[in-house]
Amino acid sequence: MITVSVPHPKIADALGDLGEDARVIVWDPREGSAPEDERERITIACVPHASGGREVYGRLAECPDLRVIQIPSAGYEHAAPFVPAGKKLANARGVHDSRTAEMALALALASQRRLPFYWDAQRRETWDASQFSPSLADRRCLVVGYGSIGSALGERLRACEAEVVGVARSARTDPDGTEVHAMSSLPSLLPDAEVVFLVTPLTDETEGLVDAAFLAALPDDALLINVSRGRVVDADALLAELQAGRIRAALDVTDPEPLPDGHPLWSAPGCIVVPHIAGNAKMTDRRYVDLVRKQVEAVRHGDDPVNFVMMGAFPA
């Protein structure tokens, strides 16, 4: 019998009937160890958002037959150091593609069309048409991290008649027709990039990728949009460029995060900040539920998990 644990009854209701050989129980590992009568039966554990750390993953390690830990996010750097030895970690790649791409596009449009300026004028009941708001159409957009989210973003940017150039680990022509360059080519692409989207995962290679040299290579009035991870960007280098008024930014993620009261990014000119909500999706959403159902099928057939990212090595 395949036993799937989920952290809330509404998720169990959304999953519904998984077949005669599968069942769903409700267990939130943030709140305590698995029930004694279920601990040795759990096969797939779905953990809630914001649930990294030794304590939570230590409780997962107590489940001897646990095969798959399913996290609700695409990024997994917060979980990787704590995954128990022998347990397989699966991320939610694909679940958040559309939502993250939508927010990246919304941030681009809001910044390009100077919507914060007009919202402020509205609050002041002032009719001020003095600002020029450039279109996103015909802009050269560089998408750094052209994976599943990057591809979803590229589709939306092309619908806005923007030019799309991708960057990934290796060069290729994407199935959607986008020319994707290797990361090693990034410095040569920056001087022509009018809008840069960061959708890359946080790795040793991408941490601090956007440093002073990266930003200095961008043209005047370029727009940097970060929907990846805050630590991909050197915050001090970005602040220097924003305060000089040379470039603009729209940030879904920051370093540090949450952004503390009084941090200069809150009031930096030309900067939009939203609180890491680009990919937020409920675990009852269809795409997440479909992913968990696919995990049940994978276990049923003895296959590796869908979106298998790593085997745990943390000692129990």
E strand or H helix that includes residue 195: strand 195-198
Alpha-carbon distance 167 to 84, whole Å?
A: 33
- Residue from 31, 49, 257, 286 carrying the catalytic annotation: 257
Closest-CA residue to 116 (of 275, 276, 278, 274): 274
Answer yes or no: 181 catalytic: no
- Residue from 59, 99, 181, 229 carrying the catalytic annotation: 229
Tokens 């939570």 found at: 56
E strand or H helix that includes residue 196: strand 195-198
- C-beta of residue 180 within 8 angstroms of C-beta of residue 125: no
- Residue from 156, 276, 287, 293 carrying the catalytic annotation: 276
Query: Could you say which DSSP state residue 313 is in?
Result: -
- C-beta of residue 116 within 8 angstroms of C-beta of residue 110: yes
Alpha-carbon distance 63 to 47, whole Å?
A: 14
Alpha-carbon distance 3 to 46, whole Å?
A: 11
Answer yes or no: 301 catalytic: no
Answer yes or no: 276 catalytic: yes
Q: Which residues, 6 or more positions from 123, have their beta carbon under 8 angstroms from its beta carbon?
A: none
For the record, the structure tokens of 87 come out as 């347990």
Active-site residues, by number, are: 229, 257, 276
